[in-house]
Amino acid sequence: MLAKRIISCLDIKEGRVVKGTKFLDLKDAGDPVELAKYYNSEGVDELCFLDISASHEGRATLTELAEAVAQEVFIPFTVGGGISSIDEMRGILRAGADKIAINTSGIKNPDLIKHGAKEFGSQCIVLAIDAKLNPDRKSWDVYIKGGRENTGIDAIEWAKQVERLGAGEILLTSMDADGTKKGYDTELTKRVADSVSIPVIASGGAGDIEDVIDVFKRTNCDAALLASILHYKNITVKEIKNQMKKEMMAVRTIY
């Protein structure tokens, strides 16, 4: 049985970690390098660095900051935000990232997913999907540019397509649940995880330990991404993993 992963997310804006609700009302949450050092010592399984305004602002990811973070962690490290070419992927990997997350650029140029997987291996390519419920269609639309633009693309169908293109993992964020601390969108997560065979990371909405337990129990997701409840030390990674062990879930031991 593969261990379920706990992933800490650093959403970066103007060089600082921020966190909001439903992609809005962003508040400062700390220094990314210091938080990275803290999470590395706390026992998170992976770290995700997302430059959330890069695509909207039409610029490259903050490579120097990503490199500074990479020097402080010894766990798998994913970097995303504004990455739109093979050369930019290569630069981020050279800076210390283990995986590349793409969202807007994958929608605009699906061949980038295929070429990235061919160049660096599928395990390096994480396709980020920001999804919001469309009540009229009773489905979820994919949003890009940091949640600012609705593509009208069905999230389930897009997940299937990116798997065919060669993505090795999906980072699935519910825009409706993001920052609410009311729990993950388990219906969305289950639908996506059941439609693909690659790992799915559940993101958006964690408010307490039970929310993490719930998303693992009710869906086939492989990992849970957390931000504000860890940034503000509402709970610890050790507390989460101890509860997961009590629920007989496979987890990586914290030494």
* Per-domain boundaries in the chain: 5-246
- Sorted by sequence, the CB contacts under 8 Å of residue 62 that are 6+ apart come out as 12, 15, 51, 54, 81
pLDDT tens digit at each of 255 positions of the chain: 689 999 998 888 877 777 555 555 566 667 888 888 989 999 999 999 988 665 545 545 578 888 888 998 999 999 998 899 999 999 999 999 999 999 999 999 999 999 999 999 999 999 999 999 998 888 999 999 888 899 999 999 999 999 999 999 999 999 999 989 999 999 999 999 999 999 999 999 999 999 999 999 999 999 999 988 888 888 999 999 999 999 999 998 765
Q: Is 11 a catalytic residue?
A: yes
Catalytic one of 11, 45, 178, 222 = 11
CA–CA distance, 38 with 15 (Å, rounded to integer) = 17
The pTM for the full model equals 0.91
Q: Of the residues 130, 178, 185, 222, which is catalytic?
A: 130
List the CATH code of the domain at 5-246: 3.20.20.70
Query: What are the helix (H) ranges across 71-143?
Result: 86-94, 104-108, 111-120
What's the CA gap between 114 and 37, in Å, rounded? 33
What whole-number distance in Å separates Cα of residue 209 and Cα of residue 40? 19
